Amino acid sequence: MRKLTLALGSSLILATPLAQADMLGLGASVGYWDTDVSGKVSTGSDSVDVHDQLRLKDDGNTDASIYFEHPVPLLPNVRLAYTLIQQSGNGTLTSDYGNVAAGNVRSDLDLEQLDLTLYYEVLDNWVNLDLGLTVRDFSGELLVQSSGASEKSKADAVLPLGYIAARFDLPLTGAAIGAEGNFIAFDGDSIRDFNVYGQYSISLLQLRAGYRQIAVDYEDRNDVFDVKIDGPFFSAGVTF
């Protein structure tokens, strides 16, 4: 999977005309993401619906990024992004899940990802287009507990994903609309992460509001995470 995606990503980047920034650029942002979660997590032959049975709800999410752009030809720009999703809830198992018998349970779901993205500016005017490759350090953990037992399901991976970002600036207004996405799919596993947004910039301040969705279908030994996390987000950043 990694060799295939790296080869495709490298071919795409090398085949694309580049339009690097005219000067050095630096930016950073932090955001709040109001999420809902759906789907299933499995361990062995047992599976649980994280919404209908576990009743997981938003327990606080962290989202931050920083990027550096430069005018050096052929060298990619760099972006680092971090996302932490925490969900918890009290629900009822309709069947056994690992060591936990059917009945009332307390559950906690943590999904964490750290992205390193290398990208090129293909277009850089009122229409902006970036293409690149993201290396994602992904980890997921679901802990299900009853009064007498607990079961922990985990998934960890370092994966290459394709990266694309497009933005359309409305001249003389400071407003823009855009979308960003990361994706990979191979041999039954897949990760899809995209967002669409509206943006307003004034001086160095950049405000965004939009919708983001992450869909993970990943098998790690006996554990399978097949979940979708989505909802509205708001972020504030600075650009130099």
State pLDDT tens for residues 163-200: 999 999 998 899 999 999 999 998 889 999 999 999 99
What the block records as the tokens of 112 is: 């964490």
Please enumerate, as own/partner, the contacts of 179-184 that have beta carbons within 8 Å and a separation of 24 or more: 182/115, 182/134, 182/136, 184/1, 184/5, 184/159, 184/160
Can you tell me the distance from the alpha carbon of 81 to that of 30, in angstroms, rounded to the nearest whole number? 10
Position 3 scores a pLDDT of 38
Banded model confidence at residue 18, pLDDT cuts 50, 70, 90: low
Is residue 142 a contact partner of residue 41, using CB atoms and an 8 Å limit? yes
Position 15 scores a pLDDT of 41
Eight-state DSSP code of residue 153: E
Q: What is the tens place of the pLDDT at every residue in 56-93?
A: 987 778 899 999 998 888 899 999 999 999 999 999 99
**The pTM is what?**
0.87
**107: Cβ–Cβ under 8 A, 6 or more apart, which residues?**
50, 54, 56, 88, 89, 90, 91, 142, 143, 144, 145
Q: What is the tens place of the pLDDT at every residue in 40-51?
A: 999 989 999 999
On average, the pLDDT of the chain sits at 89
Domain ranges of the chain: 2-20+43-76+89-239
